[in-house]
Amino acid sequence: MDDLDQLLPSGIGRQEFYLRPLAIETGSAGQALTAAGMARPLAGGPAVFAAVEVSVRQAAGIAAVTLPVAVVRDWIARRPGPGAVLSARLDAIAAPRPPVLGIAGPAVMGIVNVTPDSFSDGGDHLDPARAVDSGLAMMAAGAAFVDVGGESTRPGAAPVSEGEELRRVLPVVERLAAAGARVSIDTRRARVMREAVAAGAVLVNDVTALAGDIEAPATVAAAGVPAVLMHMQGEPQTMQQSPRYDSVLHDIHDYLAGRLERLTAAGLPLDRLIVDPGIGFGKTLQHNLAILGGLGVFLGFGVPLLVGLSRKGFIGRLGGGALPRERLGGSLAGALWALARGASILRVHDVGETVQALALWQAMAEEEGA
């Protein structure tokens, strides 16, 4: 009996196991491993993965085994029943992500918070004209999407009224959309989603994964726009008060898997959904690092992965107390880490710098593989 048989003695169910791609390579080394059947592309490439961690929940916690891709391939071939389930998950990790509004990724989403109290840029864009100017500058710098939000979701933030949220965002959405921007509306309210889409928004970004408003799933389905489903533990006012998980990576995976299942059953096509593990939303420093280390587990859903860690507090804590505007270095390091692990969209404050870093990362991956 081999390691997988010991780990999975009763077979495999659709959500009873987790796959995390490891041994990630790029360039000619990755191409050689793939040609030899020892690696698979990661979310379509250019990176490949040559090993996987297979894990399951047990009474005592998470049990895991790490195996080369070639060994897993042979196990699949010998066990046509459970092997088919495992093979389908591997295929989902390897496959290119569905494009988002025609953008195949990787892509940058610029942040425009039309609020007085967001953690990094609160007050910068409260004036609609300044918010529009900032969004236009992000477009010029290479942002594929501009994410407009009118309610701060920083730790400790108090909610605003629906009317105030609409008053803040609608003029900005309308003017940016008229200028040709792919505008994302960052909201958890169905009415704000509807009115923003009517004003020109083409994507919904919801920190509650369309669970915060009973009308949100039907609203997004009727609008026919893509939606970002983010994980958040608790509410912004309380989410950083001792957040706890059994296993942060696996708990978030299960939550997002459940939301995808519920929303597709409600009529939202899977190819219009995007997942976001919610860095910093009800997570400690160690939780955030565990999520970043395990980002590849979310590729098994087969949908695009959005990562938003720009200027987050954990970067400041790792960087000796750096203030939000002093966290560019850590933000870029995290962005490149996420790219190398299959992220399709990077949600950032510093668009020009991130676009430049992404361009160099892509050019070097192509050069190494030439």
Domain boundaries, the chain: 3-94, 107-369
- The per-residue pLDDT for 57 is 87
Asked if residue 215 has pLDDT above 90, the reply is yes
Say what percent of the chain tops pLDDT 90.
Answer: 72
pLDDT surpasses 80 at 118: no
Burial of 325 (0-12, 13-18, 19+ CB in 10 A): exposed
Q: Mind spelling out the 3-state secondary structure of 60-114?
A: CEEEEEEEEHHHHHHHHHHCHHHHHHHHHHHHHHHCCCCCECCECCCEEEEEEEC
Q: What is the pLDDT of residue 15?
A: 43
**Distance from C-alpha of 56 to C-alpha of 58, rounded to nearest angstrom:** 6
C-alpha closest to that of 285 among 218, 351, 330: 330
Mean pLDDT of the residues in the chain: 91
pLDDT score recorded for residue 14: 45
Task: Give the pLDDT score at 121.
Answer: 53
Please state the φ and ψ torsions of residue 282, each to the nearest 5 degrees: 75, 40
| Nearest-angstrom CA–CA distance, 262 and 317 | 37
pLDDT at 122 over 60: no
Q: What's the confidence (pLDDT) of residue 10?
A: 58
Provide the pLDDT for residue 50.
Answer: 97
**Three-class secondary structure of residue 203 per DSSP:** strand
φ, ψ for residue 106 (rounded to 5)? -70, 150
Work out the average pLDDT over 6-10: 70
Q: What is the average per-residue pLDDT within 195-206?
A: 98
- Alpha helices for 179-279 (secondary structure H): 190-198, 216-223, 248-265
Q: Taking residues 93-114, report their average pLDDT.
A: 95
Domain spanning 107-369, CATH class: alpha beta
Q: What integer is the mean pLDDT of 140-168?
A: 90
Residues with a catalytic annotation lie at 312, 347
More confident residue, 175 or 158: 175
pLDDT in tens, 63-87: 899 999 999 999 888 887 777 888 9
The yes-or-no verdict on residue 271 having pLDDT over 90 is: yes
Q: Say yes or no to pLDDT of 92 above 90.
A: yes
Count of helix runs (H) and strand runs (E) in the chain: 13, 12
- Stated pTM of the model: 0.94
Q: What is the pLDDT of residue 49?
A: 97
pLDDT, residue 1, reads: 39
Q: Range with the lowest mean pLDDT among 112-116, 251-255, 307-311, 344-348?
A: 112-116
pLDDT at 235 over 90: no
pLDDT at 113 over 50: yes
The predicted structure's pLDDT at residue 247: 94
The rounded percent of the chain whose pLDDT value lies above 70 is 92
The answer on pLDDT for 11 being more than 90 is no
